[in-house]
Amino acid sequence: MSTTPGLMFATSRPIPPTTEAQLNDFYRNEHLPDVLSYGAVKMTKRYKNVNPDSAFPYLALYPVDEVNYFKSKNFEKVVEETKLSRTFGNKSFYDFLEFEIGSWSKIQSYEGSHSDPSTKPAPTSHAKTLIAVTMQPAPDPDTDPNSWYKKQYLDTMATLPTYRRTTRYKRVAGDGDDDGEGKPSFSLVLHEYDCKADELPEPREEYVRRCEVWGREVWELVEVQGDGERQL
Predicted confidence (pLDDT) per residue in 206-216, tens digit? 666 667 667 88
Last residue of a domain, one of 67, 102, 137: 102
* Residue 159 confidence (pLDDT): 74
Same domain, 85 and 118: no
Residue 185: pLDDT band by 50, 70, 90 thresholds? low
Same domain, 66 and 150: no
* Residue 36 confidence (pLDDT): 98
* Residue 202 confidence (pLDDT): 75
| Alpha-carbon gap, residue 166 to 145, rounded angstroms | 16
Residue 179: pLDDT band by 50, 70, 90 thresholds? very low
The number of distinct structural domains making up the chain is 2
Same domain, 64 and 146: no
Same domain, 131 and 190: yes
* Domain hosting residue 210, numbered range: 108-226
Contact partners, residue 221, CB within 8 Å, separation at least 6? 45, 46, 47, 126, 127, 128, 129, 130
Same domain, 151 and 76: no
Residue 208 lies in a domain: yes
Residue 231 lies in a domain: no
Same domain, 98 and 149: no
Same domain, 112 and 82: no
Residue 225: pLDDT band by 50, 70, 90 thresholds? very high
Last residue of a domain, one of 70, 87, 102: 102
Last residue of a domain, one of 102, 124, 139: 102
Same domain, 205 and 114: yes
- The proportion of the chain whose per-residue pLDDT surpasses 90, expressed as a percent, equals 62
pLDDT at 51 over 50: yes
Residue 1 lies in a domain: no
Same domain, 13 and 32: yes
Residue 177: pLDDT band by 50, 70, 90 thresholds? very low
Same domain, 73 and 112: no
How many other CB atoms are there within 10 angstroms of residue 166's CB atom?
A: 23
Q: Residues 19-46: pLDDT tens digits?
A: 999 999 999 999 999 999 999 999 999 9
Same domain, 88 and 116: no
Same domain, 115 and 218: yes
Per the confidence metrics, is the pTM higher than 0.85?
yes
58 burial class (0-12, 13-18, 19+ CB within 10 angstroms)? Answer: buried
Residue 48 lies in a domain: yes
Residue 11 lies in a domain: yes
* Residue 217 confidence (pLDDT): 95
Q: Which of 191, 225, 230 is nearest to 34 (CA)?
A: 225
CB 34 within 8 A of CB 83: no
| Alpha-carbon gap, residue 76 to 171, rounded angstroms | 19
Q: For all residues of the chain together, what is the average pLDDT?
A: 87
Residue 96 lies in a domain: yes
Task: Please compute the mean of the pLDDT values over residues 152-169 and round it to a whole number.
Answer: 82
- Report the CATH number at residue 151: 3.30.70.100
The DSSP call for residue 215 is E
| Alpha-carbon gap, residue 137 to 129, rounded angstroms | 25
Residue 168 lies in a domain: yes
